[in-house]
Structure 1
């Protein structure tokens, strides 16, 4: 999964961009750009932070239920 996928899954789980920002130290405007597909390349450090939060919050059984549908090509 890519950073936007982790972010979409976190948002789908009910987290807000503000809450994600507080827990990852990624500025909320940056999260907004990622969510809207306006961030071309997400630095690996930020992607790892989103992945870590996703694993912490959505680990185990909840993962499959919150995975976003793949985008149509």
Structure 2
């Protein structure tokens, strides 16, 4: 099992795949690393799980990160 990170803007229906990672922790860290690289500090961070997908809410009401379980190829 691997973990794919994606980002969605619900207003524009834009979806970007950021990468696939070996562990859930690596996937989450990739989001934090992107924020650091781009000098972004979220107002807050909360997350919840639905099925095999974690949703990361970082303060924008219409943009979210998702970490989904994917099968190894």
Q: Which has the larger radius of gyration?
A: 2
TM-score by structure 2 length? Answer: 0.31
TM-score by structure 1 length? Answer: 0.31
More helix by share: 1
